[in-house]
Amino acid sequence: MPQNKNLSSLITELNELYFASSHLPLSNDIILKLNKKIDLILNLIDSTPELDIRETNHYIKSFRDFLVNYTSILEKYKLNIKKQLLEIDTHANAFNAYNNVLNYNIK
């Protein structure tokens, strides 16, 4: 039973952290904190063979629901980063083209 309490408190902490940061733009720092909590939960589940699944079922479902939502958010974050990288690449190409023109005019 103490492991069930640990699991429930870890999942509660994870949800609190998630909701506390949900009004902020997603950042690497927030992702790292959330991933650390997720790892703790997974390690607890893996390392505790005596977990009473009937008593932890609610927490496991809650954790699974969280992971589904979190995965969706990470996909959006990844798309946003790809978009930013594409914009950076476009600017870099423009600067390179401009630099080539300048170099050509100097010669």
Residues 6+ apart with CB under 8 A from 52: 1, 4
Q: What is the pLDDT of residues 53-102, one digit of tens each?
A: 666 677 778 888 888 888 888 888 888 889 999 999 999 988 888 888 88
Q: What is the pLDDT of residues 49-67, one digit of tens each?
A: 776 666 667 777 888 888 8
* 32 vs 30: CA distance, rounded Å: 5
What is the pLDDT averaged over residues 22-28? Answer: 75
Q: DSSP string spanning the chain?
A: -HHHHHHHHHHHHHHHHHHHHTTSPP-HHHHHHHHHHHHHHHHHHHH-TT--HHHHHHHHHHHHHHHHHHHHHHHHHHHHHHHHHHHHHHHHHHHHHHHHHHHHHH-
The residue assigned the tokens 């946003």 is: 80
Give the per-residue pLDDT at 103.
81
The two tokens of residue 35 are 């991933």
Give the per-residue pLDDT at 18.
80
* 15 vs 66: CA distance, rounded Å: 8
What is the pLDDT averaged over residues 25-33? Answer: 81
What is the pLDDT averaged over residues 16-41? Answer: 81
Enter the pTM of the model. 0.59
Q: Output the CA torsion sign for 97, 98, 101, 107.
A: negative
